[in-house]
Structure 1
């Protein structure tokens, strides 16, 4: 026990990075998970990581507080970039809802407490179940574990002056919207054709109340197209997981100055 005391500052730095990562990371950050469970899981993971990476002895001085801030920011940054990429599913659901006419019927996401589109919440729930099925949450934990290969525990600063970090985050944001558009394109494209057909019907049969007929038709077509392309959506979500891990790795390389 006495041998552990000189290494306790290094363990505390690891604990700060892991818990900060849990604050932002998908699945682990949800408020439906008790805070005591998050802290307990972070503590156990920190012990495993501490014994695995062989952290150096670090003295508690003025530089140590800078290390604590740096560890918290590294964990938040990595968790944020993972949450950013996973938000593509919610954005795709928002695109679909807007075309279906469900945009006015947002629901409260019990996981985050924020308003969420109906289809976005539906697709996001499927994505989370798929993430757990393929052990993607283990890969996310691996991401924070291997972050010490890129950002050492004794690195004091984060190179915010490096424009590549800002450019990388902007490109990741752009990639997220592209993936969201690709996911929503089958349904949105089909509904666009339905809108064109309804417009033609409205011009040729003016007696028909197109607003009464159009909404149920668009909803029915949307669900039929979703059922038809669900397998493709699962493949896109699988690729999204790989993109998320690659994005996390790229950000860690930039923060570490690689």
Structure 2
């Protein structure tokens, strides 16, 4: 007759439950998979499939009692670690969103906004275009596979019960300025050119006050801004590769992965 002890049952439960919490937290917070466009049920099924696939290669899990205080703390720790991984990836996408917002304001298209289905808020159309573009590039260059690889390695480098969650939180907080800086550098040529155009309009207004600069400047700035933005897209791939490499390397540094 087969007899199971509480320790054996707790070990089996921990083998699947603790990795499931970390994987689910990553899928719920990371870009593309963690958006409102993907139903929560689909994300949960994906988390279950990924957990079943990676569990055989994970190190042994500590004994787990889901009804004890220590068990609840372990679950909360895994959720926090996974959410930090997902939040660090969100910074890559938000850099392109900021770049779109800046160029939309400079060219006078800040009023042209739409509901972002990803976050559920109104954003400029240019930002929405940048979000869709970076999402396609992220999937085409297998960025999601790199994330899942780092996630699997994190169970060895950041084992359950020994993850330095507080230290990781402050590391991410210290990188928040990177988002704005990356967004500005991404769209700096277009912003500089539009600044030169606006300065030229100011000089024209000063030289000829009777000239109605608003009736000429607004459509001209809009057309020039769209043209410069279209020309700047030719070099968007190299910028994305640099920013994505830095963001994914930062994710590896957070997970202490190779």
Task: Give the structure-2-normalised TM-score.
Answer: 0.89
Q: Tell me how far apart the structure 2 counterparts of residues 225 and 145 of structure 1 sit (CA, whole Å).
A: 42
Give SS of 1:116's match. Answer: strand
Native 8 Å contact 1:89 1:123 kept in 2: yes
The Cα of 1:165 is off from its aligned counterpart by 4.8
CA RMSD of aligned residues (A): 2.2
In structure 2, runs of 5+ residues without a counterpart are none
Native 8 Å contact 1:82 1:248 kept in 2: yes
**Structure 1 residue ranges, 4+ long, deviating more than 6 angstroms after superposition:** none
Does residue 235 of the first structure (1) align with residue 238 of the second (2)?
A: yes
Q: Tell me how far apart the structure 2 counterparts of residues 180 and 188 of structure 1 sit (CA, whole Å).
A: 11
Give SS of 1:102's match. Answer: coil
Q: Tell me how far apart the structure 2 counterparts of residues 57 and 70 of structure 1 sit (CA, whole Å).
A: 13
Match among 33, 38, 57 for residue 38 of structure 2: 33
Q: Which residue of 1 aligns with 2:95?
A: 88
Q: Which residue of 2 aligns with 1:199?
A: 202
Deviates more, 1:142-151 or 1:57-66: 57-66
Counterparts of 1:45-194 in structure 2, within 5 Å, are 45-56=50-61, 58-60=63-65, 61-155=68-162, 158=164, 160=166, 162=167, 165-166=169-170, 168-194=171-197
Native 8 Å contact 2:88 2:251 kept in 1: yes
Give SS of 1:197's match. Answer: helix
Q: Summarize deviations over 1:71-119 as a string: whole Å, max 9, x none.
A: 0100011111111232100111111111111223332101221222221
